[in-house]
Structure formats: C-alpha cells, structure tokens
C-alpha cells in the first residue's frame, strides 16, 4: 500500500556528536551506580527505607515511563484501528519510543526489586487480586507485542541486504529466506497484535492507577481517589500525542530534518479535547470528594498539586485552543512539553509526594545514586533511539517519492 | 484477496476469544489462600497491664533465630525513650507513652503485625506469597517473594520491613504469629514469656468478649474502644488501653478492609475478562469497518 510522501528510511547520519558523548557519560555514570546496587544491595545507592519502600525508580522509571510511552498505543489506535493514514508517518517513531520506553520500564523494575533473579515469578505465580500483578503481566505481554510490532522494521531493513561476514556468508540466502517468511507471516497477522497492544495498554495504564488505591490513608487525599485508574488512563491517552510531538520536534532538530508540522498540528488539535476530558474528571473528583480544602494549606502537597494542574493541564490546554500555537513549531513544542512534564509530575506526585506513611521520621528525597540511574536510563534510551533512527527505517522523509520499501509500512492492514 | 483476509480476521478473532475464556477459568483460582475461619486465634494486648519489661522482644528474637543477647540486658529502660518500629532485627518492639487516665505509670505498647482479617498484604502481593491461615496468622512464602515491597506500600499499619543492605536474598520480615510454634500446639513466644499476662492468646471471638467484659467491669481503667475489633475490617490482635489510641502511636483507620476498594476496581475491570475481550472485539470491529470504508472509497475511484 502506497502512502503519499511516506518513506521511512535510515537517516545515515554520523552517530557521534558532542551531545551524544555527554549522553554516553551519563549512561556510564548510571552503570557505576547499578554495579554498586547489585553488589551491595538497594540500601547502598538509594534513600529507600521501611517507611518509604518505593521511590524515584518506581515513580519515574516505571510509572512515568509507562505513561510517556503511551504514544505507541494512541498512534496505533489512530493510524491502524481507525485507518487514519495521514498519521502513518508518526507511527514508527512512536512505536520505537514505546518499545524502548517499555524496555527501560522493565529494566527499572529489574533494578528496583530486591530479588531481581526472581523477576519471572509473576509469570507462574498468580494473584488475581493484586493490581501490581495485573500491571506486571500486562507490561510483560505488551513488551512482547511491541517487539513483534517492531519486527517488520527489522525485516524491511535486512531483506535483500543480508550480508554476513566471512564463513557465515553461506547462510545469507537462508537468513534472507527466513526474513521473507517472517515478514509474510507478520503482515498477515499483525492486526491481531495491534489490537492486542491497544487493549493491553488500556488495561495496564489504568491498573497502574489502581496500584496506590490500596495504600489508603497513607496517600494524601488530594491524589487518593477510587477513580485513580480512570485518571491514569485518561492522562496516559492525553499524553500520547504530546509525547509524539515533543519527540518528533526534538528529533527533527537534532537530525536536521524539516518538522512535519502538517501532521503535528493535527495531532496538536486532538490534544485539547483529550486534556479537557482529563481535567474535567480531575476537577470533578476534587469537588465530589471536597478535597479542595487541602489546597488552602501551604505545604509541598498543595503546591505540587497546583503546579501539576496549572502548568501540566490548564495552561497547555488554553494554548492548544489557539490556531497560532498549533501552527508554530516553537509554541506547539512548548505546549507539548508542558503536558509531558505535567504527566511526569503527576506520576511523581502520586507515587512519591502523596505517599505519607504514618511513622515516617523524615520525608524521602532520592539519593544521588537513584537520580544517576534514572538520568542514565533516559540517556541510554535517547542513544538507542538515535541508533535506530540512523540505521533503521523509522523516520519518514517528507516529499520524496515512495520507494519499494513503502510496501512494508503498514503491516497486516492492507 | 481482501475477502480472504477478512475471513482470516474473523477466524483469528474467534480463536483469541476462546483463548481468553480459557484463561479466565484458570485465573479464577489464581488468588492466594485467604481463610477467615470463625475459630481463628488472636491475642488480646492489655496495655494497662504491660509493664514494659521487653521480655517479649527477647523471646521473639530467640524464637525466630535472630541475635537476641542476654535477657538481663533488656532491663535497661533507656531505649524506651525513643519510639521504635519493628525491623528485620526485631519483629516486635515496645514503645512507651505518657500515663493514661488509670494510673501514674507510663503506658507501654507492644508493636507487631496485627494479622488483619482482610490483609492488604495478601491482596497486594504480586506473586501471592502472603496467605491468611486458618488459625489467623498472616504468613508468607519467602521462596516466592521477588522483593518488590508492594506489601509495605499496602500495609495500613506499616509493618512489613525489608533488608535493604543485602544484595542477595533480601528478606521481607514481619511477625508471623509464631506459626511454627502454634502448629505444634505451643503458645506464641511473646505470649509464653509475658510475666504479667498482658497478652492473652485465644480464639478471637472469645477475646472480643473478654475485652468487652473488662471494659464493662472497669470503666475507670479503660477507654471504651477495642482497637482491632473493627479497624480495617478487624484484626487478630486486639488492644485495650487507658487513653486514646491515637496518642499511643496507632494509626487512625476506618472500618473498611484495606484491600476492599482496590479489589473491587480490579475485579470490575476484569470481571472474567469480559471487559477486555469486549474492548478487543470493539476495536477489531472498528478496524474492519474503517478498512472496508477505505476499500469502498478506492473501488469508487476506479
């Protein structure tokens, strides 16, 4: 199927730039702290204790990571389920983000749990009552689905170009044949995985909200509500497109491409109603539970809640209602960044700021080790994104005629 | 060709539906043992009787193979000047508070797992390692534990603790109600050693009656509140006191079981996989329709 102007190609840029070297240093710094964590235990690098069992790694690496990778399922729903082909160009970058994002969510869980070598236990030891079990199982399956959705990009990159070194070159033909077979099979069945991906996402995005419900009174009433799963789902859906815009504009800047404003403006226009819906439930919940009284107490919780709502939802919502913002790359980028930061802050608030255990001696603040690992994971993610964008057909170059490669673009949805 | 792929589509959708139904029947059993026996045991802690000798702390460590030291060293009351919490080296601790209405002596409160009737940890544990046993104990299988510490997030009494300084096999620790001792017909170690009978071990239902009786007979001695009778749906350990429990380091909790809301949300979302399966069907339908619309548009063009 040919899409006009859709032509994902490897970008053929130099991988190393000064910025990339900085990212490599940040990533190496994380590796050092991770080594300490695995040699001497969680206590050696984190400020976690019996009062605060969960900290930065669960709040940001896992909870925010899952939310910010939501672009994968929202664009898949838009492009594949609703067949809005005009958005096809953003699907692959969003898929790449989701795949890398969830991979690092898994890494985040892996380093945070005390017995990392038992990470496979939930696969065979089930507890249907546990929200965490449901999140875990869904994330594992979804990660597998994302890898499957990504496979056609790998096959497309290598079909007809398999060139193994030395003695292995005898296998070139067979590998090529396997790739072609895989590609044919995938293109017939891909729709199963695409729908499964959307269903799995709605399930675990909401269950991530259920996680803190059981903490009950240990969570500040500004955030503790039985509709947390709904708020988590709505905010994840609302942050999907902003994340795509945010990344697309950064990528086009750093890889020296023309911003795809014709698509991004349309995505931006869809952000306002989604944000509005989230805001309506958030404010409605606040009034039904009459928690606005806590906003008058000047403390960390009320300030963080206000910042989250005002800068993360209200201001970008107002911005996105203006045509001028939607057409300007700089303003659209600002609005998208605010939404992304707002959802990031919301997850931090829910998992860290709102958590007020009854016997806490002093409140939790992440240690250097925790911050280093989180920053390092983000750096690794960006490096891998750059690697894939440069060596694999991810980014579509506008204007060029569709080549033969384009026939692999939208798998299974012919 | 489009016709064939549509048939494929329906076929695979039906297969997935069948797969999901198969899953749901097996997952219905996938919840940990959580027995609420009418004969479950409990302990009544009378804080007006406790003298703060801390013998229970020693006996608990001794029974659980933790370094306990000399029993004599526990006579040092200096440690009672600070408020302590159970940790991996001590599964129960005594804290001391200013006198209540009954006497001029300080009030001593033993802290350990309350062994809830509807335990949040049992509901929360990702691998179902926690169980509520028939005799009332809330225990856990260390072999299953992945160290995620969600039980610590969930517990309304902030009881489970974790060995943050161990790189390999860090343990979740808490009071296990001396499950291994009571199995053999012995008393829990703390109850066994208590020299003043501040701790009464027995069927929880009878303990509630005893507690009510003590309050009725000595209204000057006790406030009219049995902590644990109703809190978070009831606990196996019950407390009597001469002053408000909030002033004795107890958290203020409602009567609803801690896991109630999250479990009903969880089961509402899943409900035998009907909502996810319906969503799958709905999205599949939408995909098929939008594809068909596109095809018709293309045919018209030709």
pLDDT tens-digit series, residues B178-188: 999 999 999 99
Residue A409 lies in a domain: no
Task: Compute the half-sphere exposure of residue A284: CA atoms within 13 Å on the CB side of its CA.
Answer: 11
Contact (CB<8Å) A202/B152? no
Alpha-carbon torsion (B52, B54, B55, B56), positive or negative: positive
Contact (CB<8Å) A218/B153? yes
Banded pLDDT at A319 (limits 50, 70, 90): very high
In sequence order, what are the beta bridge partners of B200? B44
pLDDT one-digit tens code per residue, A248-276: 999 888 888 888 898 999 999 999 999 99
Average pLDDT over residues A302-317: 95
Tell me what the pLDDT averaged over chain B comes to: 88
Alpha-carbon distance A119 to B207, whole Å? 42
Banded pLDDT at A82 (limits 50, 70, 90): confident
Q: Which of B126, B143, B253, B268 to mutate to test the interface with A (most CBs of A within 10 A)?
A: B126
Return the percentage of chain B with pLDDT > 90, whole number: 66
Give the pLDDT of residue A399: 57
Average pLDDT over residues A144-164: 89
Banded pLDDT at A26 (limits 50, 70, 90): very high
Average pLDDT over residues A64-92: 89
Whose CA is closest to B55, among B41, B69, B43?
Answer: B69
Average pLDDT over residues B153-173: 95
Residue A413 lies in a domain: no
Of B166, B253, B286, the CB nearest to A81: B286
Give the pLDDT of residue B2: 42
Q: Which residue has the tokens 């057409």?
A: A327
Run of H or E including A69: none
The structural domain count of chain A equals 1
Q: Which residue has the tokens 């994302």?
A: A146
- The structure tokens listed for A144 are 């597998």
Contact (CB<8Å) B290/A77? no
pLDDT one-digit tens code per residue, B203-212: 999 999 999 9
Return the percentage of chain B with pLDDT > 70, whole number: 90
Say if residues A405 and A393 touch (Cβ distance below 8 Å): yes
List all residues of chain A from 114 to 153 with a beta carbon under 8 Å from chain B.
Answer: 114-116, 118-119, 121-122, 125-134, 136
Average pLDDT over residues A299-307: 94
Contact (CB<8Å) A42/B124? no
Average pLDDT over residues A204-226: 93
- Return the minimum-mean-pLDDT range out of A19-28, B25-34, B36-45: B25-34
Of B147, B262, B263, the CB nearest to A113: B147
Alpha-carbon torsion (A319, A320, A323, A327), positive or negative: positive
Return the percentage of chain A with pLDDT > 70, whole number: 94
Read out DSSP for chain B?
Answer: -HHHHHHHHHHHHHHHHHHHHHHHHHHTT-S--B---TT-EEEEEETTT-----HHHHHHHHHTT-----SGGGG-GGGGGS----BTTBS-EEEEE---SS-SSPEEEEE----BSS-HHHHH-TT--EEE-TTS-EEE-TTT-----HHHHH-TT---EE-TT-SSS--EE---TTHHHHHTTPPPHHHHH-TT--EEEEEHHHHHHHHHHHHHH-TTTS-S--BTTSGGG-BSEEEE-SS-GGGGTPPP--SS-TTHHHHHHHHHHHGGGHHHHHHHHHHHHHHHHHHHHHHHHHHHH-
φ, ψ of residue B243 in degrees (nearest 5): -145, 170
List all residues of chain B from 186 to 225 with a beta carbon under 8 Å from chain A.
Answer: none
- By CB atoms closer than 10 A (0-12, 13-18, 19+), residue B268 is exposed
Residue A72 lies in a domain: yes
Q: Which of A56, A84, A120, A131 to mutate to test the interface with B (most CBs of B within 10 A)?
A: A131
Average pLDDT over residues A181-206: 91
Average pLDDT over residues A177-183: 90
Q: Does A185 touch chain B (CB under 8 A)?
A: no
Within 10 A of B46 (CB to CB), how many other CB atoms are there? 21
Q: Does A112 touch chain B (CB under 8 A)?
A: yes
Of A54, A119, A188, the CB nearest to B8: A188
B-chain CB neighbours of A218 within 8 Å are 153, 156, 158
Banded pLDDT at B29 (limits 50, 70, 90): low
Q: Which of B265, B273, B284, B290 to mutate to test the interface with A (most CBs of A within 10 A)?
A: B265
Q: Which residue has the tokens 């979740």?
A: B172
Contact (CB<8Å) A199/B276? yes
Alpha-carbon torsion (B231, B236, B239, B240), positive or negative: positive
Alpha-carbon distance A74 to B232, whole Å? 39
Find the closest chain A residue to B33 by CA distance: A127
Alpha-carbon distance A225 to A282, whole Å? 10
Q: What CATH number does the domain located at B41-255 have?
A: 3.30.70.20
Give the pLDDT of residue B12: 53
Say if residues A406 and A13 touch (Cβ distance below 8 Å): no
Give the pLDDT of residue B159: 96
Residue A36 lies in a domain: no
Q: Where are the alpha helices (DSSP H) in A77-171?
A: 88-112, 121-124, 131-158
Banded pLDDT at B266 (limits 50, 70, 90): confident
The ranges assigned to domains in chain B are: 2-30+262-301, 41-255
Q: Does B278 touch chain A (CB under 8 A)?
A: no
Q: Which of A109, A199, A228 to mutate to test the interface with B (most CBs of B within 10 A)?
A: A199
Give the pLDDT of residue B135: 93
Q: How far is CA B106 from CA B98, B99, B248, in A?
A: 5, 4, 11
Give the pLDDT of residue A2: 39
Return the percentage of chain A with pLDDT > 90, whole number: 70
Run of H or E including A9: strand A8-9
Average pLDDT over residues B23-43: 73
Residue A110 lies in a domain: yes
Task: Compute the half-sphere exposure of residue A230: CA atoms within 13 Å on the CB side of its CA.
Answer: 13
Banded pLDDT at B51 (limits 50, 70, 90): very high
Find the closest chain A residue to B254 by CA distance: A217
Average pLDDT over residues A298-327: 94
pLDDT one-digit tens code per residue, B88-130: 999 999 999 999 877 888 999 999 999 999 999 999 999 999 9
Banded pLDDT at B8 (limits 50, 70, 90): low
Q: Does B112 touch chain A (CB under 8 A)?
A: no
- The structure tokens listed for A78 are 């838009």
What's the domain range around A225? 56-367
Using DSSP, state whether A85 is helix, strand or coil. helix
φ, ψ of residue B151 in degrees (nearest 5): -60, -35
Whose CA is closest to B225, among B234, B233, B215, B217?
Answer: B215
Average pLDDT over residues B70-94: 92
Average pLDDT over residues A36-40: 96
Residue A383 lies in a domain: no
- By CB atoms closer than 10 A (0-12, 13-18, 19+), residue A29 is middle
Q: Does B284 touch chain A (CB under 8 A)?
A: yes
Q: How far is CA A305 from CA A233, B219, B227, in A?
A: 18, 46, 34
Q: Does B164 touch chain A (CB under 8 A)?
A: yes
Contact (CB<8Å) B262/A213? yes
Q: At what angle do helices A329-348 and A300-309 cross, to 10 degrees?
A: 150
Q: What DSSP character marks residue A26? A: H
Give the pLDDT of residue A207: 92
A-chain CB neighbours of B30 within 8 Å are 126-128
Say if residues B117 and B57 touch (Cβ distance below 8 Å): no
The pLDDT of residue A401 is above 80: no
Give the pLDDT of residue B24: 44
B-chain CB neighbours of A115 within 8 Å are 145-147, 169-170
Residue A299 lies in a domain: yes
Contact (CB<8Å) A83/B265? no
Residue A16 lies in a domain: no
Q: Does B149 touch chain A (CB under 8 A)?
A: yes
Q: Which residue has the tokens 């997952």?
A: B27
């Amino acid at each position: 199927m040919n899409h006009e102007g859709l032509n994902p190609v490897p970008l053929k840029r130099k991988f190393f730039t000064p910025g990339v070297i900085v990212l490599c240093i940040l990533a190496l710094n994380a590796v050092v702290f991770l080594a300490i964590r695995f040699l001497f235990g969680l206590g050696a690098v984190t400020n976690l204790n019996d009062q605060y069992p969960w900290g930065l790694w669960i709040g940001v690496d896992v909870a925010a990571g899952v939310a910010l990778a939501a672009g994968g399922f929202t664009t898949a729903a838009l492009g594949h389920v609703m067949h809005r082909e005009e958005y096809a160009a953003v699907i692959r970058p969003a898929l790449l983000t989701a795949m890398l994002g969830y991979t690092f969510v898994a890494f985040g869980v892996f380093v945070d749990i005390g017995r990392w070598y038992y990470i496979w236990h939930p696969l065979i030891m089930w507890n249907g009552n546990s929200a965490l079990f449901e999140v875990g199982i869904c994330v594992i399956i979804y990660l597998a689905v994302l890898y499957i959705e990504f496979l056609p990009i790998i096959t497309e990159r290598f079909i007809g170009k398999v060139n193994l070194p030395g003695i292995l070159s005898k296998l070139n033909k067979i590998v090529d044949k396997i790739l072609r077979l895989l590609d044919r099979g995938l293109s017939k069945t891909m729709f199963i995985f695409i729908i499964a991906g959307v269903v799995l996402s709605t399930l675990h995005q909401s269950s991530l909200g259920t996680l803190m419900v059981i903490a009950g009174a240990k969570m500040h009433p500004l955030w503790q509500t039985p509709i947390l799963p709904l708020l988590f789902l709505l905010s994840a859906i609302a942050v999907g497109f902003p994340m795509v815009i945010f990344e697309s504009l950064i990528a086009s800047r750093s890889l020296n491409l023309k911003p795809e404003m014709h698509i991004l403006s349309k995505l931006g226009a869809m952000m306002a109603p989604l944000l509005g819906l989230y805001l309506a439930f958030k404010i409605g919940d606040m009034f039904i539970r009459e928690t606005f009284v806590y906003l008058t107490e000047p403390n960390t919780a009320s300030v963080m809640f206000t910042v989250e709502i005002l800068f993360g939802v209200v201001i970008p919502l107002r911005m996105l209602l203006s045509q001028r913002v939607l057409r300007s790359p700089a303003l659209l980028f600002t609005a998208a960044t605010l939404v992304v930061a707002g959802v990031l802050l919301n997850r931090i608030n829910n998992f860290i700021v709102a958590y007020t255990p009854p016997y806490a001696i002093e409140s939790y603040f992440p240690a250097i080790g925790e911050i280093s690992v989180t920053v390092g994971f983000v750096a690794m993610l960006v490096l891998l994104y750059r690697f894939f964008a440069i060596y694999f057909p991810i980014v579509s170059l506008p204007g060029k005629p569709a080549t033969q490669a384009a026939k692999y673009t939208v798998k299974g949805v012919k | 060709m489009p016709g064939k792929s549509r048939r494929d589509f329906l076929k695979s959708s039906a297969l997935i539906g069948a797969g999901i139904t198969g899953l749901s029947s097996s997952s219905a059993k996938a919840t940990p043992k959580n027995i609420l026996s009418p004969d479950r045991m409990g302990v009544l802690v009378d804080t007006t009787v406790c003298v703060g000798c801390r013998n229970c702390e020693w006996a608990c460590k001794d029974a659980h193979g933790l370094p306990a030291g000399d029993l004599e060293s526990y006579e040092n009351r200096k440690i009672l000047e600070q408020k302590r919490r159970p940790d991996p080296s001590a599964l129960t601790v005594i804290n001391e508070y200013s006198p209540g209405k009954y006497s001029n002596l300080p009030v001593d409160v033993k802290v350990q797992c309350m062994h809830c009737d509807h335990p949040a940890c049992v509901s929360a544990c990702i691998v179902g390692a926690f169980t509520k046993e028939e005799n009332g104990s809330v225990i856990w299988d260390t072999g299953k534990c992945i160290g995620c510490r969600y039980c610590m997030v969930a517990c309304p009494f902030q009881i489970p603790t974790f060995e943050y300084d161990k790189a390999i096999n860090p343990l979740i620790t808490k009071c296990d109600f001396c499950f291994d001792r009571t199995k053999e017909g012995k008393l829990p170690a703390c109850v066994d050693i208590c020299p003043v009978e501040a701790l009464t071990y027995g069927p929880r239902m009878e303990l509630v009656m005893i507690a009510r009786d003590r309050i009725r007979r000595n209204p000057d001695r006790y406030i009219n509140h049995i902590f644990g009778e109703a809190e978070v749906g009831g606990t196996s350990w019950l407390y009597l006191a001469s002053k408000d429990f909030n002033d004795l380091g107890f958290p203020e909790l409602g009567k609803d079981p801690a896991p109630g809301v999250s479990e009903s949300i969880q089961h509402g979302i899943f409900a035998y996989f009907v909502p996810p399966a319906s969503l799958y069907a709905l999205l599949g339908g939408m995909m098929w329709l939008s594809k068909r619309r596109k095809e018709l548009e293309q045919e018209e063009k030709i």
